[in-house]
Amino acid sequence: MIKRYATAVGAGLAGIALLAGCGNGGSSSGTPSTETTSTEATPTSETTNERTAPDRVIVYQPGLIDTYLTVDDVPAWPGPDPSEFLQPNPPSGMSGTLTGPEAQVAYEAALDHPDALIEEGADPDNATAAFWGFEGIVLLLVVEPQW
């Protein structure tokens, strides 16, 4: 038992020494390291896309769906009245394009409601949880950014 305790204490001291060595830039000589490291992350294209909004989005309203949800259960649609920009999109449903500030507002709201955001070229009919409340009714609206 004493041997196990001594081994555990030795391993713990080795770990502390290792951490102490890392704390001064990996230098064990006691002299401060002149190396500088940056903890700032370089933005990737994915994070850049999240920070900027597209100038244009396509909004789809797939064929009508019967749902048990109410407007209190879903986020409010932030864009203009869908009847103002949606047009029939055969074989089912509707679609329309928003530009400028309206596109940016719709895109940013879809970032907060990821079920409603699809990648460019994806099938909007596969987005079955993109529900929004608008003027007392629940709508299925899918936002596709156009980069």
For the full predicted model, state whether its pTM sits above 0.85.
no
Which residue carries 């009245």 as its tokens?
Answer: 81
In the chain the beta strands, taken as DSSP E runs, fall at 56-61, 87-88, 94-99, 131-134, 137-140, 142-145
Residues 107, 121 contacting (CB under 8 angstroms):
no
Report whether pLDDT(7) > 80: no
Choose among 99, 130, 111: nearest CA to 51.
111
25-62: pLDDT as tens digits: 444 444 444 444 444 444 444 444 455 889 999 999 98
- Give residue-wise pLDDT tens across range 63-79: 867 788 999 999 999 99
